[in-house]
Amino acid sequence: MNDFRALHLNIAMLTTNPVHGEQFSEGNAIMNQCFAEAQSLLNLPYNIVPPSSSTDQAVLKEHLQRVIVDASARRFQAHKIYLKMAAASRWVFHQVEAFKAPKTKSQFANALHAAREALHSVRFSPVSRSPILTRAQPRTDGDYLHQELTGITDNFVINDLLSADIRAGYWLGDDPPLSTILSWIC
């Protein structure tokens, strides 16, 4: 649950106020969508009916498994939202930097090239501290954003979380598989 909380705090920290004229750019639109998804996830009620006052161990174990699946699904969704938000945030930041200071055409071209290069550098997940994505150089920053977002698959997200849990030394024996998490979400 602490990861879920930390992910939502990180999502909130990535939220920016776009400069005039940029609020409808692709990166800002994705950031707004991610923020709305995170808000919806936070507002999602916990709908698991607690077991009756039964002392039957099987009933209590089944209830605990549902709680674990629900928590895992929420963490999975929050991490996926965060990865998308971070990709869009990097894109927006480098676009803004490219348009700030340059005065000549060559300076402007160099700034755009630097923004593209910065987008290609290896980045690290705040949860796992492992590299998020490494990509070949695309034609434009928009291409890069789409390529990075496409790389944020369900398998990538679950493996990123699993790697973080292993490094942290967490018990993984009761963690649900990806198929269970996805069926819980649907």
pLDDT tens digits for range 30-44: 888 998 999 899 888
Q: Which of 47, 146, 160 is nearest to 91 (CA)?
A: 146
pTM for this prediction: 0.72
* Burial class of residue 27, CB neighbours in 10 A (0-12, 13-18, 19+): buried
Q: For residue 131, what is the DSSP state?
A: B
- In 5-63, which ranges are E strands? none
Task: State the CB neighbour count (10 A cutoff) for residue 84.
Answer: 21
**Tens-place pLDDT, residues 112-163:** 666 656 555 545 455 544 445 444 444 455 577 888 899 999 999 999 999 9
